[in-house]
A and B are shown apart, each in its own frame.
Chain A
Amino acid sequence: MTAAGLQALWSHWRRNPLQLFTLLAGLALATALWSGVQAINAEARASYAAAAATLGEGQFDQLVPRAGETMPQARFVALRRAGWLVSPVLEGELDRDGGDVRLVGLEPLTAPGGLGPVRPGAGGGDLADALGGGVVFAHPDTAARLAGLGPRVVADRGVAPGTAVADIGLAQRLLDLRGRISRLILAPGQPVGRPPLAEVAPDLVRRAAQGRAEVARLTDSFHLNLTAFGLLSFAVGIFIVHGTIGLAFEQRRGMVRTLRALGMPLRRLVMLMAAELALVALVAGGLGIALGYLVAAALLPDVAATLEGLYGAQVSGTLALRPAWWLSGLAIALGGTGLAAAGALWRIARMPILASARPRAWSMAAGRARRWQAAGAVGLLAVAGALAQWGGGLVSGFVLLGCLLLGAALALPLVLDPLLAAAQRGARRAVAEWFWADTRQQLPGLSLALMALLLAIAANVGVSTMVSSFRLTFTGFLDQRLAAELYVSAEDAQEAAALEAFLAPRARAVLPLLSVETRLAGRPAELMGARVGPTYARNWEFLAAEAPVWARVEAGEAVIVNEQLARRAGLWVGDDLAVGPGRRLPVAGVFGDYGNPVGQAIVGEDLFREMFPQVRATQFGVRSDDPDALRRALVAEFGLPRARIVDQARAKAASMRVFERTFTVTGALNVLTLAVAAFAILTSLLTLASMRLPQLAPAWALGLTRARLGRLELVRALVLAVLTAALALPLGLVLAWVLLAIVNVEAFGWRLPMHLFPVDYLRLGAFALLAAGIAALWPARRLARTPPSDLLKVFANER
């Protein structure tokens, strides 16, 4: 009985191969985009874990210099002598072909267990043996780039991508930083009774272990963003699957009735249908995972560049086949199919044996569901409104986005229907009236595809508005923050003093970049000292300010803070901020600080030097009328390498390059989502085509040519796409507002001004129209070429 039942059920797909293709392709596309994103996330997280294991990030407390990048090795010796169990680490960049490689030097004898690439039993020998012999360990991607470095290079996947690990002595030699270290790792279980840190090394601060690597926390929002995109694409794909399954089940109502009449128990029948769908889901899921792998492999280099540019996180550019993501891909394919089929299976399970075998008209089915749909749309949009008003946190921001998009998608047919009805009322000619009436009738059948198109266009409008607003703001921000023509770094305080003395008579202004890591308003933050002059006064713009800002900062009477600190600490202009023990200053201005994850406050140079007399600037911004000549002079006088003199144009170009790559991934996902929506339109039109004949044949019989009917089908798809695009525009702008004003503030701590880009929207509308037109072309052409005999079958008396 089971075999006979399966044979009967399967015969439907054999007779409707296009429907089977639609189901498989929709599910495969949905799974591909989801699992592609998950593959990228899994790869990135594996890279963070490797980096954390290598560098000890997140696992151990650390001592870091209060100011500057490095400390003398003598601090390590002093602390060990005082009884502190510390291990030195040196980090630096090796300039290699294909980009810098981060070299990490460890001290094997004092390094806590679990640190570094070589673990006991993972290749024999311990860390000391492994690192002792002048060996450099590197990720296989990186090892090739280290050829010719001198020491032997060993490839090890346990090392983070873009990173190499060596003994600290070797690292100091390779980085030309003899006698310097970057930080000290504190072993767990320090001896009791050792002298306090402030006594032994007052220029160091203790940074507590955070349980997870810093970079993993910083990149959470980026990965959440990607996941949200993956979920959106998956939802668009599931719309296709839902539509196809619904149609296939409706068409099989007669078969179900017959099978039951012939003795097949309902329970068995429903189970067979579920098993049939599970099989389809597994096949499509497998295809989707393969496609997802290709998508991820294509996008990963850009994601890696984005993560490095935004957060300094090194992620492998090559993809490993991890069981976690392909299993999750199969699971989501099965889950998505179950979700899409649940309603159809439920209806079959409840269908009386003598129910009509005729497929219900789409419009009738939709009519009954319309009230529920309206209620769902209103409910979701209400939740979105409530979250916008009272919600808080990043997750709430994404739930808001989900409710907004889903609510708007559900509302789409309810908004389109009265628009089409109005057009019908306004039609003067018979064909026009029929066209609008027929379009209204097609609406329920096409609504899932149109919802997919709405979501795709809205996502495109939203994300492109965000990116373009970001670009506009960021360009202005770079002009403000990179006002100096040259940026020069010194190795140490002594060289810095010599550099400043050398530059003072030759430059228009020398702007020392003084900073210390500290805590402001109870949060880790950076306090900077600024040499106030025309450069700052002319170039800096404030989100909020109380004039005269710079004069008050210069006089040590006020402080300015970045937006991140202002929002997190609830500060604004006029509030007081404690910048040091017993010293409170009013906030004179709040400035935008895009891309910086930490809070920042700026005081005048004199006040800074008074508060932190031991801190010396090792970096300078230099204003010069002839930066090239000054650069040559610096090289001739100090022999500074290229990396230590950065000119403004190069810094801006590098920043913009990072910026552009940052959004390459979202751009690619945008295009893919639009492509999936176009596919949804194509499949909906194709599956509806066979059901359309009884509706079109009378119009043909009454004198419309097949060619004209075909053209009208194309026009119908375009009209619906135009209406959908017009409705997607305001939705996309609301989406952009949510991204800029809510999600961005929660994720990064700063809010971007929103700009509008009408030309971009017009271009996007044209693309959407093109996608819909291409999708409708084939079904329209098929209709125009339908043999009259097929149309005549509609009129056959003995059907």
Chain B
Amino acid sequence: MLLEVEGLTKSYAGPDGPVPVLRGVDLSLAAGRTLALTGESGSGKSTLLHLVGGLDTADGGAIRLDGQEVSTLDDRGRAALRRGAVGVIFQQFNLIPSLDVAANIAFQARLAGTADRGRIDRLARALGLAGQMAKFPEQLSGGQQQRVAIARTLAARPRLVLADEPTGNLDEATSAAVLEELLALVAETGAALLMVTHSPALAARMERRLHLSRGRLA
């Protein structure tokens, strides 16, 4: 099993004491499979994604990626995890504004030491970005920016792709096109995809669906 999550808990500090966000979540995901995580706002979807991606630390429970315990990694270990094994696609794209498209796509792969010029060019062509490589993020549309974010993630060849509402900022037509490209490319690389989404239509495209409600999987 690529990803195993057991009894995961997480709280945030609130004005009246800790506010529990995750109350013991268990899930698993095999390599090459896709999983949709749905739930209402504040149900803990993004928090779960952040914990799995090594962006945050859990209060309790375990996260294993390829058998390696993630929740006990220190700052440096989690950074290495984010560079190599995991790729995160954000709703807000989170491109680096000071780098052009080509540098943005290559960035994570270069950090991980896995940059491959040919693969980057192929991804750019596949995502319709070949003519945009010298542009900066602020010169691109939302759809183009999200394609750059997808290309950046996939160029690093992560084993697990985490997508947090990847089409939430896009119109319907662009959203559909981007999703198709994402699914095709993930399938091609053999990575697993865990996608957080509000959209039932988007969730329906995944092999499995889980619903998170008030910090628990329903």
Inter-subunit contact A701/B98 (CB<8 Å): no
Inter-subunit contact B103/A437 (CB<8 Å): yes
Cβ contacts B72-107/A at 8 Å (1 or 0 each): 000110011011100010111011111100010011
Task: Name the B residues within 8 Å of A794 (CB-CB).
Answer: 92, 94
B209 adjacent to chain A (CB < 8 Å): no
- Which single member of A695, A788, A799 contacts B96 (CB below 8 Å)? A695
Quick one: given A429-B110, A703-B83, A703-B108, are A788 and B57 in contact (CB under 8 Å)?
A: yes
**Smallest CB separation, B184 vs chain A (Å):** 23
B213 adjacent to chain A (CB < 8 Å): no
Which chain B residues in 27-72 approach chain A with CB under 8 Å? 41, 46, 50, 53, 55-57
Inter-subunit contact B79/A703 (CB<8 Å): yes
Cβ contacts A415-435/B at 8 Å (1 or 0 each): 000000000000001110110
A580 adjacent to chain B (CB < 8 Å): no
Cβ contacts A700-712/B at 8 Å (1 or 0 each): 1111111110000
Interface class of chain A by DSSP: helix
Inter-subunit contact B99/A437 (CB<8 Å): yes
Which chain A residues in 766-797 approach chain B with CB under 8 Å? 788-789, 791-792, 794-797
Cβ contacts A572-599/B at 8 Å (1 or 0 each): 0000000000000000000000000000
Task: Name the A residues within 8 Å of B56 (CB-CB).
Answer: 788-789, 792
- Which single member of B41, B55, B75, B97 contacts A701 (CB below 8 Å)? B55
B111 adjacent to chain A (CB < 8 Å): yes
- Which residue of the partner chain A has the closest CB to B156? A702
Task: Name the A residues within 8 Å of B165 (CB-CB).
Answer: 797
Size of A's binding interface in residues, CB under 8 A = 35
**Smallest CB separation, A788 vs chain B (Å):** 5
**Smallest CB separation, B11 vs chain A (Å):** 12
Task: Name the A residues within 8 Å of B82 (CB-CB).
Answer: 701-703
Q: Of residues B41, B90, B96, which shows the largest number of chain A Cβ atoms within 10 Å of its Cβ?
A: B96
B168 adjacent to chain A (CB < 8 Å): yes
Inter-subunit contact B55/A702 (CB<8 Å): no
Task: Name the A residues within 8 Å of B12 (CB-CB).
Answer: 789
- Which single member of A434, A788, A791, A792 contacts B99 (CB below 8 Å)? A434
Task: Work out how many contacts link A and B, with CB atoms closer than 8 A.
Answer: 92
Give the CA-CA distance A364 to B165 in the complex, in Å: 29
Inter-subunit contact A705/B79 (CB<8 Å): yes
A97 adjacent to chain B (CB < 8 Å): no
Quick one: given A703-B82, A705-B75, are A434 and B96 in contact (CB under 8 Å)?
A: yes
A698 adjacent to chain B (CB < 8 Å): yes
Give the CA-CA distance A121 to B13 in the complex, in Å: 77
A218 adjacent to chain B (CB < 8 Å): no
**Smallest CB separation, B214 vs chain A (Å):** 17
Cβ contacts B168-210/A at 8 Å (1 or 0 each): 1000000000000000000000000000000000000000000
- Which single member of B92, B107, B115, B138 contacts A702 (CB below 8 Å)? B107
Give the CA-CA distance A440 to B152 in the complex, in Å: 22
Give the CA-CA distance A699 to B152 in the complex, in Å: 12
- Which single member of A433, A438, A706, A795 contacts B92 (CB below 8 Å)? A795
- Which residue of the partner chain B has the closest CB to A439? B98
**Smallest CB separation, A683 vs chain B (Å):** 23
Task: Name the B residues within 8 Å of A705 (CB-CB).
Answer: 75-76, 79
Give the CA-CA distance A695 to B136 in the complex, in Å: 14
Task: Name the A residues within 8 Å of B83 (CB-CB).
Answer: 702-703
Give the CA-CA distance A699 to B50 in the complex, in Å: 15
Give the CA-CA distance A703 to B84 in the complex, in Å: 8
**A-B pairs with lowest CB-CB distance, top 10:** A703-B83, A430-B110, A437-B98, A441-B98, A698-B94, A703-B82, A705-B79, A702-B108, A438-B98, A797-B91
Of the A-B pairs whose beta carbons lie under 8 Å apart in the complex, a sample of 11, sorted by A's number, is: A361-B138, A433-B103, A434-B107, A440-B98, A695-B98, A697-B94, A702-B83, A702-B107, A703-B111, A788-B56, A792-B56
